[in-house]
């Protein structure tokens, strides 16, 4: 094993600041236990008239040192893993569980040869339980608690007595003392394990919440940058597009008065149409990037939403909508229709790109009382797991250069999640991909409270 791996484990910055609950932390505690046991036995033999069976005691200490050395080497050959974030981290937890089980049994064996429950170090069982509650999963912590109680019960009646420590077993009330200590030990063990496990669980939950909050903050910062980019692009492109539109209209007016070929008139109409298309794209980009102030909220039916989606997609002849969608004509929604329609169009566009040239894309619609679901199903080859996990990251794309910036799914997911919905992908290589959008039909502002003529309002309810 490379010496660099071992030196990393014993670097002062690691030894002094090992994170609570990590493998390195447990490794250090076991080395401290080995040193502490050696010092304690040496001190007792030197300063107290106690005849200890040194051979079995040193044998158990050597066993602990040997297993910890093997654990040190094993950790040095593995890359650091974030707790609870990988299979390797879970494997390390199982290894730590086995080591702590050995430590508990070793402690019980050493106590057997040194007075049993008369030995004041019997309460070091609680140290093992406290460490187990922090380092191990709750099920393992409770397994060790049960084993500790069982070991204490055995040591109560079976042990190698030490004259200086033992109490006359024939003294009045000693049996009551034994039973009382067993009950007290069992109660303390259960309480310590319960509260330490709860604390460790709360710390894990807080850590997860903090990690989630940081991820959301990171996404918000990236989204803010994209919003600024979209607003800047819209501002910079608005003037030249307006100029082109004015020039085209002038040319169309002169062409109508002059004798020009029909091809010229068709080209001018095409330019005018594409200019309007560019303006619409900029508006959708601004909405999709999160410009909520520009969104208009609409009271519509699910059929209206489907119609809006179909109107803006390319190759509509390749898109097959559920035959029973018309039965949702009385299913009302309160959503920003254009933003949601554009989000679904993005998914359909990706499905068309992923499918063979003449293959179709299916769109299935279903509803519940409070939510509606749209599933976009392509005829492609599906995505590998690593690609599916990164699909919604900004600027990530598997398309050829020039075919996309990798923002479509990121912006789509942003619109859907901001409206309280979810976007999931069910994909497998060789089977295709199913994009599942589930959204609430109404937001906090009730659509029923709108006046008859006020179906189109901004998100804050103002004109």
DSSP string, 119-132: SGGGGHHHHHHHHH
pLDDT band at 187 (very low <50, low <70, confident <90, very high): low
pLDDT higher than 80, residue 170:
no
Residue among 428, 441, 299 nearest 374 (CA): 441
Q: For all residues of the chain together, what is the average pLDDT?
A: 76
pLDDT (0 to 100) of residue 210? 86
Mean pLDDT of 371-377: 91
Say how many CA atoms lie within 13 Å of 288 toward its Cβ: 23
d(CA 71, CA 84): 19
pLDDT higher than 80, residue 280:
no
Judge: domain 295-458, CATH 2.40.30.10. no
pLDDT (0 to 100) of residue 390? 77
Q: Using a CB cutoff of 8 Å and minimum separation of 24, what contacts does 125-128 make?
A: 125/151, 125/152, 125/185, 125/189, 126/188, 126/189, 126/192, 128/100, 128/103, 128/104
Q: Which two tokens stand for residue 37?
A: 């046991």
Question: Within the chain, how many helices (H) and strands (E) appear?
Answer: 13, 8
For 56-93, write each residue's pLDDT tens digit: 999 999 999 999 999 888 887 775 544 444 445 555 67
Mean pLDDT of 296-310: 86
pTM of the model: 0.44
């Amino acid at each position: 094993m490379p010496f660099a791996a071992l030196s990393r484990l014993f670097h002062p910055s690691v030894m002094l600041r090992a994170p609570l609950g990590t493998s390195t932390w447990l490794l250090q505690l076991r080395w401290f236990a080995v040193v502490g046991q050696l010092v304690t036995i040496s001190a007792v033999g030197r300063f107290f008239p106690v005849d200890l069976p040194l051979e079995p005691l040193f044998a158990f200490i050597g066993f602990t040192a040997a297993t910890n050395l093997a654990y040190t080497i094993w950790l040095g050959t593995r890359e650091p893993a974030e707790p609870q974030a990988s299979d390797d981290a879970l494997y390390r937890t199982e290894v730590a569980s086995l080591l702590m089980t050995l430590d508990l049994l070793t402690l019980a064996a050493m106590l057997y040869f040194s007075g049993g429950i008369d030995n004041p170090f019997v309460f070091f069982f609680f140290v093992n339980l406290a460490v187990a509650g922090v380092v191990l999963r709750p099920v393992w912590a409770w397994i060790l608690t049960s084993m500790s109680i069982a070991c204490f019960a055995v040591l109560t009646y079976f042990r190698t007595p030490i004259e200086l420590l033992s109490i006359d077993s024939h003294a009045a009330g000693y049996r009551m003392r034994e039973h009382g200590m067993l009950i007290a030990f069992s109660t303390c063990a259960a309480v310590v394990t319960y509260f330490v496990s709860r604390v460790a669980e709360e710390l894990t939950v807080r850590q997860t919440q903090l990690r989630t909050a940081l991820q959301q903050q990171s996404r918000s910062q990236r989204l803010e940058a994209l919003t600024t980019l979209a607003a800047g692009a819209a501002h910079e492109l608005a003037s030249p597009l307006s100029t082109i539109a004015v020039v085209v209209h002038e040319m169309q007016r002169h062409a109508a008065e002059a004798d020009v070929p029909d091809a010229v008139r068709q080209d001018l109409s095409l330019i005018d149409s594409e200019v309007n298309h560019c303006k619409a794209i900029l508006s959708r980009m601004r909405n999709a990037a999160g410009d909520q102030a520009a969104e208009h909220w609409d009271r519509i039916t699910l059929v209206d939403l489907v119609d809006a989606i179909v109107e803006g997609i390319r190759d509509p002849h390749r898109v097959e909508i559920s035959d029973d969608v018309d039965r949702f004509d009385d299913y009302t929604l309160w959503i920003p229709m254009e933003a949601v329609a554009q989000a679904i169009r993005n998914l359909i566009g990706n499905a068309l790109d992923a499918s063979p040239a003449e293959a179709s894309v299916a769109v299935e619609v279903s509803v519940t009382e409070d939510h509606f679901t749209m599933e976009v199903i392509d005829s492609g080859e599906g995505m590998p797991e690593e690609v599916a996990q990164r699909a919604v990251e900004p600027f990530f794309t598997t398309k050829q250069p020039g075919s996309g910036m990798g923002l479509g799914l990121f912006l789509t997911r942003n619109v859907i999640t901001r409206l309280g919905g979810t976007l999931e992908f069910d994909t497998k290589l060789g089977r295709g991909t199913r994009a599942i959008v589930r959204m609430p039909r109404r937001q906090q502002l009730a659509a029923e409270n709108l006046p008859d003529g006020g179906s189109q309002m901004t998100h804050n309810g103002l004109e």
